[in-house]
Amino acid sequence: MSIRSDIITTSPFFDLITERFSDFETDLDALAYAIEGQLRGTPDMGAIDGFNTFHVLEETDTKLRVAGMAYFLPSSLIPLDASFNTTNGGTSYRVKLGAEDGKWKRLTEKKRWSAVYLYATENYEPQWNWEPTQKGVLSR
């Protein structure tokens, strides 16, 4: 089983994913939805409510790294960089969230989107600061 399959099949949203996405094992939107469900259950993550943009940066059978802009309730849209690794104890995660500080707030909406896109697709340095990395193991 690949890490993508593991993330999707253990997601709290699995039943909805199978209803909404006919080819859920390869559909990028299904993966984003599964990751949203997984991250909602992690401590201190906040109320993630989907992605504005979502990119797979690296994927092997045992490792997955994604980046994009995620919605957080009540009304934040911030960068997210998450990596998942298969371990003996399940699937570990490391998540970095963009800091909602002056550096991020000074960027216009268009510059925010462009900065996250270039970070995810061209390996550009982030144009924002990161909050401390959150780590843990996904619930099964």
Q: What is the pLDDT of residues 72-127, one digit of tens each?
A: 988 789 999 999 999 887 899 999 999 999 999 999 999 999 999 999 999 899 99
Number of structural domains in the chain = 1
Predicted confidence band of residue 65 (pLDDT cuts 50, 70, 90): very high
**Beta bridge partners of residue 71, listed in sequence order:** 77
d(CA 91, CA 71): 23
Q: What is the 3-state secondary structure (H, E, C) of 50-102?
A: EEEEEEEEEECCCEEEEEEEEEECCCEEEEEEEEEEEECCEEEEEEEEECCCH
d(CA 51, CA 23): 20
pTM of the full structure: 0.92
With vertex at residue 34, the alpha carbon angle to CA 32 and CA 97, rounded to the nearest 5 degrees, is 60
Q: How much is the average pLDDT of 7-22?
A: 93
Contact 92, 136 (CB under 8 A): yes
DSSP symbol at 130: B
Q: What is the pLDDT of residues 101-116, one digit of tens each?
A: 999 999 999 999 999 9
d(CA 126, CA 91): 26
Domain with 36 in it:
3-137
Structure confidence at residue 73 (pLDDT): 87
Token code pair at residue 40: 């909602």
Structure confidence at residue 139 (pLDDT): 72
